[in-house]
Chains A and B, each alone.
Chain A
Amino acid sequence: MNLVRVRDVSKIFANGVQALEGASLDIEAGEFLSVLGPSGCGKSTLLRLVAGLETPSAGAIEWPSGRSSGRPDLGFVFQEPTLMPWATALGNVVLPLKLRGVTRSEREARAVEALGHVGLAGFEKSYPRELSGGMKMRVSIARALVTAPKLLLMDEPFAALDEITRRRLNTDLLELWQRTRFTAVFVTHSVFESVFLSQRIAVMSARPARVLSELAVPAAYPRTEAFGTSAEYAALCRTTSARLAEAMEKTSC
């Protein structure tokens, strides 16, 4: 079943830049989908359109199962941790619940639980500046998941982190996804990351971007570090790289 249908969506910004042109993409409920493409090609714009932070210039974004007005619950993880520096980890994670009017005791209990899920139990009272880059990202993920959203949108969340931290977060993210089964849309410019994480990859062209091809990643879960060194993984990365190269050829960046 489709959770979201992106239909021939174009987006032209007020400054005349065309980020998307006729992009179409179906997002299946419960899947882990990666959107792969060169940097600055409009992937983020696609994500922001799905989140409702932008409105399409043409085309439509449909929610077949959702309410007619408004979107179902969704979480958003930005490229930066985007935490409020004046609030503790807990204070940051409660925010979505607070803005929705959940009572104090309930929202704090849920936030503590969410922090536990991302491996930050005991860091509730820490301020963002006291946390490492990876931990800040975990707080950001906990904040996105605290409302138990159907859909988690992630915009190159680990791009600014070092390799080791990124791998750890990738593994933990997958574990979290398998446990809670939200629908995940993960924007990235890394072939390796997209193959490691997702069931399906949508390859986008350079600006103005379209979804040029979609390919499945048939490897089974749970995917561990061992999967990352397997021949199967290497072969999948090769195929995906070829698709990305094709996409780049068809467009001038």
Chain B
Amino acid sequence: MLALWEAVVRVAAIPPYILPGPILVAKTLVTDWPTLAPALLVTLDVTLQALLAAVVVGVALAVLFSLSRWIELSLFPYAIILQVTPIVAIAPLIIAWVDDVRVSLLICAWLVAFFPILSNTVLGLRSVDRNLLDLFQLYGAGRWRTLVDLRLPAALPYFLGGLRISGGLALIGAVVAEFVAGSGGRESGLAWRILESGYQLKIPRMFAALVLISAAGIAIYLVLSWLSHLLLRRWHESALGGEG
């Protein structure tokens, strides 16, 4: 693929400001590393914090929903509205309302990331073996015990599935929000580097930044998959494939 790309660029003599070849992109990645690395860190920082907030709020809400039907019925519609509203459409509002750009970026990334965790965890907390629930009742377990010892472990595979989706979404949310915010200066992430490179026709750098975003997304996915495997390998069907 990469070789073909390089060949096409060379044979057709496409200028680098239209489409740079992979070798040039790789070179740019190295030479521009001093500007790209801090940007990558900023974007990753927003992504991971948003993901963490999504986990905390998503799981807390899911537990609350599982404990009370009323809370679920009254709050779940709002969660859905937040989910279906395009982040690009509400990002300018959030950025206008919140003074701190960083906080507004966090809110945007969190908004897109938290729903899969919430809905998957709610599903997991409900997908408990009826007989096991009976057993807990038989031995006089209260709601809290049942939650900790039965519902949460049963929901774990569902939660981890949601987390893997949310990891990618948090990154997308962070990048999209950065685009909309268009913030410059020291504290700017990869999206800003892409915009900036576009204005300055530094297309190879734009591609280098794109590569970094993709790489970050893949890395997040791999780490979360590994985490999931680690937690489930002893007992869950999803983690059983491929071992002796």
Contact = CB atoms under 8 A, between A and B. Distances in A.
Q: Do A and B come from one complex?
A: yes
Interface in B94-140: 129, 131-132, 134-140
B125 to A, nearest CB: 14
Given A78-B131, A80-B131, A52 B138 contact: yes
A129 interface: yes
B138 A53 contact: yes
Contacts of B139: 95-96, 99-100
Given A84-B150, A85-B235, A53 B134 contact: yes
Interface in B131-159: 131-132, 134-141, 145, 149-150, 153-154, 156
A14 B194 CA distance: 62
Contacts of A82: 129, 131-132, 135
Given A76-B138, A84-B150, A99-B141, A128 B131 contact: no
A149 to B, nearest CB: 10
Contact of B140 (A51, A76, A99): A99
Interface string B222-244: 00000000000011100010000
Interface of chain B, main secondary structure: helix
Contacts of A51: 138
B236 A76 contact: no
B240 A129 contact: yes
Interface size class of A (residues with CB under 8 A): 20 to 34
A123 interface: no
A239 B156 CA distance: 52
A233 interface: no
Contact of A86 (B135, B138, B235, B240): B235
Contacts of A95: 135, 139, 149
A82 B132 CA distance: 6
Interface in A19-53: 48, 51-53
Nearest to B128: A84
Nearest to A96: B139
Interface in A209-245: none
A177 interface: no
Contacts of A87: 153
Given A78-B131, A99-B145, A85 B236 contact: yes
Contacts of A127: 234-235
A127 B156 CA distance: 17
Contacts of A74: 138
B47 to A, nearest CB: 30
B135 A128 contact: no
B136 A99 contact: yes
B130 to A, nearest CB: 9
Nearest to A88: B234
Contacts of B145: 99
Nearest to A128: B235
Q: Which of A52, A74, A95, A99 has the most CB of B within 10 A?
A: A99
A77 to B, nearest CB: 10
A76 B235 contact: no
B79 to A, nearest CB: 27
A96 B140 CA distance: 9
Interface in A53-94: 53, 74, 76, 78, 80, 82, 84-87
A82 to B, nearest CB: 4
B141 to A, nearest CB: 5
Given A82-B129, A99-B140, A99-B141, A76 B234 contact: no
Interface in A119-142: 127-129
Q: Which of B138, B150, B154, B156 has the most CB of A within 10 A?
A: B138
B140 A100 contact: yes
A241 to B, nearest CB: 30
Given A78-B135, A86-B154, 17 more contacts: A48-B134, A52-B138, A74-B138, A76-B134, A82-B129, A84-B132, A84-B150, A86-B153, A86-B234, A86-B235, A86-B236, A95-B149, A96-B139, A99-B139, A127-B234, A127-B235, A128-B235
Across the A-B interface, the 6 shortest Cβ-Cβ residue pairs: A99-B139, A82-B131, A85-B235, A78-B131, A86-B153, A99-B141
15 contacts: A53-B134, A53-B138, A78-B134, A84-B150, A85-B236, A86-B156, A86-B234, A86-B235, A86-B236, A87-B153, A95-B139, A95-B149, A100-B140, A127-B235, A129-B235
